[in-house]
Structure 1
């Protein structure tokens, strides 16, 4: 578990930028002191080129090739440095799907994201939850080409008496022997321990690949077992590669976003975080217990989260001091460097150019991906967009639901489930939020290509069907309705959406009709915890014009993530599955469009907001939404000026 690396940074100049100012730690290091810079990418999701494959256009806000172009300059600011990736690199855009579903991975093949990471020169990486989306065989064949160690401590092929006795899928940690230069020019070897963690929820999210093959342990339990072992093995400092968000301060078994209690563990010196698709340090985490966004620390220890898709490079700078034969951290700073900036007129300015060597490493696969996503599979006679998917019945969600319903109806013929009414649940994946004001589905009328289907359905989920009761249907919809803030009747311009609620958990169920009473509190918290058991936002719930009885039975077509407990929806906790499809939801959508030839998507307004006299609400969406505002059924929408960060604001009168 020990690897030797020596990457020397430039001291004062860079070929691309001329003079580079040293970080104060490098400039002021005395004899016996060394400055170590730790650089982080996280949640790359196969974004190498600065290109939006879904939109089939360049995108200056993403791409490892852009991030890589500043790595050498950032290395040049420090006497000593390490470059780490924090997971979720293998899946997340059409290039990843092209490799997984079209080209495949044979023994000896190179995955393009691994090729690119090799070209950049990473020192180590950990696994994220999306590394498991294509199965263990695909994952291990992909990792075989990595010229850097990949670690993860809490995924075991076989569990032992404690985490240190587990047979882990990949090494739990690595100790990098890093040659560093001190302030007086002397060189020493420092042993940097790097240990990785992934949310144990992978066992639900990718159950079909993982159940019976691996087991996941709690992050905190695992860290407490391994950190002392790493110290005994000689690690001078320990950096946690936490593919886990910054969440609650108090640990509980199986927590998904465990970076705060992880930082509190004695022996861990710094935290690289991810999974949240956010930036740290930033005001996004103001007020979180244990977190100091001004200092960039969690429980007093430096931390960084480098955005997503290559948008930022997370930086932790450590001033290390030699004390006898040991090193200790005597100073630290943290920041996140962006590759682009948004201007006041909403335009984007690239702050860096792409690294040509990184582009060249995957040029062939990039070209093949473009051909893959441009294939037409049918036509649509109306636009498919998600600008209003969170506030009204929506055509981009409707087409997903219709395709799922079409498929499951065929699959259940001849089974004991045949004859039960079939509903279909789907959510908008691209609906702004953390993805920004351009992050929406927008497919014009005309040809529908694979890139458009990928745009409609981002994830390589597979179809599932669950058997539920009428009470479950209502509970499912109550869970979805948690995306809305409670609205006071008679009060104008209240904020409608809860920013802590992700759009992919806003399921709309087709096949029933219902209204949402926003004057009521939400029954569930954004994370799915029951907080108001008596609350009832879902009113006038009917099936074929008749009220739904609690004991009435239904089939709901959905995906493996939801059916296995993802999002904690009533009726979808893994024990109600009656059909597991071999096909992905995307493939089903493609097949449906191919069979239909031309689709005519139209929202039928099967759900609306219940009237609230005198109340109005505000919500933010993409600026391009203005072209479609007068076409939305079941709700009155009007422009309300500019929103923050490039979004446009609209008003709904209830």
Structure 2
């Protein structure tokens, strides 16, 4: 059945019949094309990460923000609006949500099996794809078995089995490029032959990110070196139009060896006519890229060539329109336009509104796998030897934060191997996301001891952040913790029952630093205000800061595992302003936690008590938490807690005696 869907779509892929289009509004390029001129629409999906259904498997509920079945509605519309069209994917399709993990870890891929994302792509009639970095997450055997089911070519030029003297001499893992022989209809209705070349690239950093799967099996080349070798050959072999499938972000225009985000200099390679970009989970054209060298964020061009980036998880469809003209027997691009089409928007109340409905054919093609994934996320993938709760995460070392730190440390330790920072000690910074506050007295993580399901991970980590590592010194570690300690009001020694928490300070900025030990002296003023502005430069709340039993000195060096929000300046933390990043992981923090649980089998997130409050004689403070915290009070170590009646708005109040 899947094959017939694919074949049906391909017949109308390039050259929608007049009877079909007569009642529809064609794109101006199609309307205005003259004889020997043809309008070609190139549609891009990127970073799908197995999101076929509009469903958030972590939260176990439908989502209007994701899903190839929603993007498919735009694909149908684009095809109807143009005389000639083609659909490509830009990589990162095989991994990234629980459906992908279910196939890899549970069902498996036997010879002849079809991966659900490939099944859905076949149903939509994709013409080509490239590999993203996440295609390697489950190993090469899994990858190759998955690709075997594709009704379209998958190309990748810079990942090779063995390097030769130059890229043309390499032994490729896949074909570096493909040249498709197509038929195209011009403005007078006449049909012509055209050769469309597609070449694929992936960040060479995959050799580090997936070292355990790739080391000794494949090698990576620089994207730009590879492009300059293969694109001339594509022209020699008759490619009229060359499209770069660049699973690489839009970054610096300055070329450097081994660039991860190389799409800007890639656009300057002679012979490339258009670029599909991705990897960054962003949208292009958009204001995000205003001011980037070589980039026109309004027109959607890079070095004058059309480019697009279609968001992630099916959130947008990227579209490049080319007006082609045949002159001297060859086709050339004479003008272009670029856009993206979203599947949802936020209304004035910031509520997500769907802009399109799902295409049933796409959902039907993988309904069985969707149902199996729901069963998978609802059952145990591991166990926890201790309850995971956040009722006391703001006043004591806490298991819900501990497990995040353990997973981040585990991941970054592996990622640092073979790098110049391998010998540096690794710390981990994590914050409690669900800790009451404006969320109310029930807004807490609470996973009981025993089985842990994948959907529980969203309770531990609310946001789809990706993992980062920063290199900092001891002074920056201290400053980081001083910033975090702004969570607490200053208290007066010798005075009872003072309110502890600053209500203006969000819990997601209360980073606990695992790997060091320290105390917080509440009698001192906060160095920073709630927004991170330094207001008391000489204040020192952090005391007894130790690493491996010895005082942390200002010149010590550390790697800190954190997330992209924090590492890029979110929260304005010393040492995390975007200029200390040494590693940008391709994985979300949620995925890392899931992998850690799966690999460990049974996790032991019991808090190790590495931080606490400095003693203050005859002093007590009050803080409020959820009423269900009473069931977990015996789990809390290192702090003198007692119930102190009811707090406001349904919270329960507790007293902490500091000394």
Question: TM-score surpassing 0.5?
Answer: yes
Gap change, CA 1:537 and 1:308, over 3 Å in 2:
farther
Tell me the equivalent position of 1:51.
55
Superposed, which structure 2 residues align to 1:169-568 within 5 Å?
169-376=173-380, 383=389, 396-401=400-405, 425=428, 443-446=445-448, 449-455=452-458, 456=460, 474=474, 477=477, 508-513=513-518, 541-543=545-547, 546-548=550-552
1:303-322 CA-to-partner distances (Å, cap 9, x unmatched) read 10000000000000000000
* 8 A Cα contact 1:407 1:588, kept in partner: no
SS in 1 for 2:603: helix
Residue equivalent to 2:497: none
Once the two structures are superposed, residues 316-335 of structure 1 have per-residue CA deviations (whole angstroms, 9 ceiling, x without a partner) of 00000000210100010000
Say whether 1:23 aligns with 2:31: no
In the TM superposition, what is the alpha-carbon distance from 1:396 to its structure 2 partner?
A: 3.9
* Rounded Cα–Cα distance in structure 1 between residues aligned with 2:411 and 2:221: 36
Contact 1:242 / 1:272 at 8 angstroms: preserved in 2? yes
Alignment-derived partner of residue 612 in structure 1: none
The Cα offsets for residues 263-309 of structure 1, whole Å up to 9 and x where unpaired, read as 11111111100001000011111111111111111111101000000
CA–CA distance in structure 2, aligned partners of residues 172 and 429 of structure 1: 45
- 1:397 aligned counterpart, secondary structure: helix
Q: Which residue of 1 aligns with 2:4?
A: none
1:541 is paired with a residue of what secondary structure? strand
Aligned twin of 1:95: 99
Could you say which residue in structure 2 is the equivalent of 1:614?
none
The question of whether the paired residues in 1 share the 8 Å contact of 2:482 and 2:541 is answered with no
Q: What does residue range 75-114 of structure 1 map to in structure 2 within 5 Å?
A: 75-114=79-118
Show structure 1 runs of 5+ residues with no match: 409-421, 432-436, 460-465, 485-494, 498-502, 523-535, 560-566, 575-580, 594-598, 609-624, 635-654
Q: 1:404–1:289: structure 2 CA closer, same or farther, 3 Å change rule?
A: closer
Task: Assess if the C-alpha contact under 8 Å between 1:425 and 1:558 holds in 2.
Answer: yes
On the 8 A contact 1:154/1:216 being kept in 2, the answer is yes
Q: Looking at CA atoms only, which structure, 1 or 2, has the larger radius of gyration?
A: 2
Match of 1:73 among 71, 74, 77: 77
Specify the SS of the correspondent of 1:542. Answer: strand
**Tell me, what secondary structure is at the counterpart of 1:333?**
strand
Deviation at 1:55, TM superposition (A): 0.1
Determine whether 1:121 maps to 2:130.
no
Q: Say yes or no: does 1:146 pair with 2:157.
A: no
Cα distance in 1 for partners of 2:410, 2:208 equals: 26
In the TM superposition, what is the alpha-carbon distance from 1:586 to its structure 2 partner? 2.5
**Using a 3 Å threshold, how does the CA distance of structure 1 residues 286 and 13 change in structure 2: closer, same or farther?**
farther
Note the residue ranges of structure 2 that are not aligned, 5 or more in a row.
1-8, 413-424, 464-468, 485-503, 521-525, 533-539, 564-577, 586-591, 615-625, 640-659
Q: How many residues align structurally?
A: 529
Alignment of 1:619-630 (within 5 A): none
DSSP-derived class of the 1:119 partner: helix
Give the aligned partner of residue 66 of structure 2.
62
Per-residue Cα deviation, 1:513-546 (whole angstroms, up to 9, x for no partner): 3889779xx9xxxxxxxxxxxxx99996324875
Distance in 2, Cα, partners of 1:331 & 1:555: 48
Q: CA deviation at 1:183?
A: 0.2
